Structure 1
Amino acid sequence: MQYPVKIVRDGDAYCVTSRDLDQVNSVGYSLEEALHEAADGIETALMIFYMDGKQAIPLPSKKEEGEYLVDLPAQVAAKVALYNEMINQKVTRAELGRRLHWKQAQVNRLWELDHSTKLEALEAAFHAVGKKIELNIVAA
């Protein structure tokens, strides 16, 4: 999952914004730092503004001229896909927990994008909503 961002130099700082996620507003003091901070800003926006607000997460649009792509970890992409599928099906966290026979804390960790979740747990959660994960490997 790659979100396009715009990076504008402002004095010593590099300011990052995203057309897809208005809430992203990150700063770095080198281009590399700005891209790193952008990834953190995107994950934070996804958790706070969308997941906590129980809103569907907008998927990334295509990169436009002058933009950079920010790669999110595969696990974050999987969690976003699961979250959006649950929103689409109107499946609550409590309902997912019942379907999986999991404690609520286990289900809640699926929405912590910075929490490492085993692939098997994500597969089980997708199965509980009638979906499965397919892996696609592409050139870096």
Structure 2
Amino acid sequence: MEYPVKIVPEGDAFIVTCRDLPEVNSVGYSKEEAMTEALDGIETALMIYYMDGKKKIPLPSEPEFEEYKVHLPAQVAVKAALYNEMIKQKVTRAELGRRLNWKQAQVNRLWSLDHSTKLESIEAAFNAIGKDLEFVVA
């Protein structure tokens, strides 16, 4: 999953925005630092959606002229897909925990983008909402 971002020089800084995720507003003092900050900003924006728990995370659009692509780590992308599917099916975290027979702390760790979750746990969560987890190597 790759989100397009715009990096615009402003003085001695580079401002990062993402039209798919208007919550992203990052700054770097080189283009390389701006790209690193863009990833952090995207992950922070995704957490805003997670905390709200009501709106689907917008999927990335195709990059436009002079936009850069920010590649999300696989675990972040798959957790975002799980979140969107749960919103679509109106499955709450509490309901997911009941379906998996997990304690709330386990579900919270699954929900955290910065927690390294075992693939088996992510797959179990998808199965609990009636979905299979498949991978495509691109």
TM-score (norm 1): 0.96
Q: Which runs of 5+ in 2 are unaligned?
A: none
User: How many residues are aligned here?
Assistant: 137
Partner of 2:106: 106
Partner of 1:6: 6
Partner of 1:17: 17
Q: Contact conserved, 1:23 with 1:45, CA < 8 A, in 2? A: yes
CA distance in 2, matches of 1:12, 1:133: 44
- Residue 108 of structure 1 and its aligned partner are, at CA, apart by 1.1
Partner of 2:51: 52
CA distance in 2, matches of 1:83, 1:110: 10
1:5 counterpart SS class: strand
Q: Tell me, yes or no, if structure 1 residue 90 matches structure 2 residue 93.
A: no
- Residue 111 of structure 1 and its aligned partner are, at CA, apart by 1.8
* Alignment root-mean-square deviation, CA: 0.7
Question: Which one-letter code corresponds to 1:123 in the other structure?
Answer: E
Per-residue CA shift, 1:6-34, capped at 9, x if unaligned? Answer: 00011111100010011100001111110
- Residue 79 of structure 1 and its aligned partner are, at CA, apart by 0.2
Q: Tell me, yes or no, if structure 1 residue 26 matches structure 2 residue 26.
A: yes
- Residue 135 of structure 1 and its aligned partner are, at CA, apart by 1.0
Q: Tell me, yes or no, if structure 1 residue 74 matches structure 2 residue 74.
A: yes
